[in-house]
Amino acid sequence: MDQIEFNKIRANGRKHGWSLAGKYYKDPAIFEREKEAIFYNSWIFAGHVSQIPNVGDYFLFNLLDESIILVRKKDGDIAAHYNVCPHRGSHVCKEQKGNSKRFSCPYHAWSFELDGSLFAAHSMPEDFDKNDIGLHKCAFEIIDGMIYVNLSDNPKSLENAKRDLAPALEMYDFENMKVAAHKNYPIAANWKITVENYQECYHCAPSHPEYSLSHTFKANPDKFDALQQPMLSRMEACGIKKHEVDKQHSQQEDGQEQYAYSRYALFEKYKTGSQDGEQLAPLLGNIKGFDHGASDFGIGPLTWMLAYNDHVVVYVFTPTSHLTSACDIYWLVRGDAKEGVDYDIEKLTWLWHVTTLADERIIVDNQKGVNSKKYAPGKLSNMEDSIESLITWYLSALEKK
């Protein structure tokens, strides 16, 4: 799609405070434009260092046409390589995770060291210099044990995010956590419908009875204000710092990735996001007790983390086609916590499993209606400010492409 055609689509009327036009949720040409503008130009959570503790441990991060190998090298550091053989392009690594001394291409058996350099290629001409060849490197950063990848050759900077989120990240000691559970939820809807749904809680009361029992939501001021002050006054005694980073503020600096941090109260009976309000796992990092609050982190447009005092739930929303997306959820607990002794997987994952299944249902229904010829942008409520911000950011990101 050229710029003139894109301008036509954009100018085709978006009113402030209204949802997006239907074409943004179903047009393959717009989706193509989103690839370079957003998906291959954003920092996305790929996994935690504890998933690859030993030399040769690896897992794949897959996004649309791209597959990235995250691997622990011989020197103990982590590397990220495109899963593309420099011979004739085959995927080199076929298993989603494992341990390997080297990677051997299944097509003609070229083999690669864990650092991506070419180890052996048989029957090559004499002028072939294997030192010039290796797997392509992918940009990645490790922030307190959390591995983020970026598929751009010239990625945005995470420096501001690291600087401004450091005081909050430090309290939880993300570095010494581990992934207790990971689930992938395929969703038959465009990725923006999936992300919009996560961003607003207008739907929480009708769709999430379990969540609504325990969580307040900022955009619902009656409930929020009454619980927020008491929670703030309990925070310090629990070792939680007062800190807030506004997402829109972080979006203002060109060349920097967006990020956010805020804390909000749970209903008083709830120490954490559990069914009965009780503790689910050992307290994290430097946290000394329960202030009956939870923290929201955001890094990039597709990764969110909800940090309770005893566990963290990481959500990664990715497109799988122009009409489908996926939500990956990772439940993190303290690294030394023992399954079956210190935490129970069923109880730990209960809330966000039932909530995500309900979300999937309403998101898919949303896409079905958006596909109709009668769909037209609708007026957003006072509880959907976050959607307005998301749409504003989204349209400007597409425009910059």
In the bound complex, what is the minimum distance in angstroms from residue 60's beta carbon to ligand FES? 17
Residue 22 has what DSSP assignment? G
d(CA 204, CA 359): 9
- The residues, ordered by sequence, that sit 6+ positions from 172 with a Cβ below 8 Å of its Cβ are 284, 285, 287, 307, 312
Which segment (50-58, 295-303, 352-360, 377-385) binds Fe ion by CB under 5 A? 352-360
Q: Give the nearest distance from C-beta 57 to ligand FES in angstroms.
A: 22
> Which of Fe ion, ligand FES, none sits in contact with 87, Cβ below 5 to 8 A by type?
ligand FES
For Cα atoms 126, 132, 137, give the angle at the middle one, nearest 5 degrees: 145
The partner in contact with residue 26, picked from ligand FES, Fe ion, none with C-beta cut-offs of 5 to 8 angstroms by kind, is none
As given in the structure block, the two tokens for residue 131 are 């030192």
Contact partner, 88, from ligand FES, Fe ion, none, Cβ < 5-8 Å per class: ligand FES
Closest by CA to 300, choosing from 80, 70, 60, 63, is 63
Task: Name which of 124 and 188 has its Cβ closer to ligand FES.
Answer: 124
Residue 43: burial class (beta carbons within 10 Å; 0-12, 13-18, 19+): buried
* 113 sits near Fe ion (criterion: CB under 5 A): no
Specify the length of the chain in residues.
401
Residue 180 interacts with which of Fe ion, ligand FES, none, CB < 5 to 8 Å by class: none
d(CA 381, CA 129): 63
Query: Which residue type occupies 261?
Result: Y
CA distance 282 to 180: 13
Amino acid at the residue 285:
G
DSSP percent split of the chain into helix, strand, coil, nearest 5 = 35, 25, 40
Binding segment (CB under 5 A) for Fe ion, from list 1-9, 267-275, 354-362, 389-397: 354-362
Stretch that binds Fe ion, among 32-40, 117-125, 214-222, 353-361 (CB under 5 A): 353-361
| Binding positions for ligand FES, rule: CB under 6 A | 85, 87-90, 105, 107-108, 110
Least distance to ligand FES from the beta carbon of 91, Å?
9
CB under 5 A: which stretch of 3-11, 165-173, 340-348, 358-366 binds Fe ion?
A: 358-366
State which of residues 359, 363, 390, 397 lies at the interface with Fe ion (CB under 5 A). 359
What residue 108 binds from ligand FES, Fe ion, none (CB within 5 to 8 A, per partner kind)?
ligand FES
Q: Minimum CB separation from ligand FES for residue 70, in Å?
A: 20
Residue 249 touches which member of Fe ion, ligand FES, none, C-beta under 5-8 Å by kind: none
Could you give the CA distance from residue 201 to residue 195 in angstroms, rounded to a whole number?
12
**Residues making contact with Fe ion (CB under 5 A):** 359
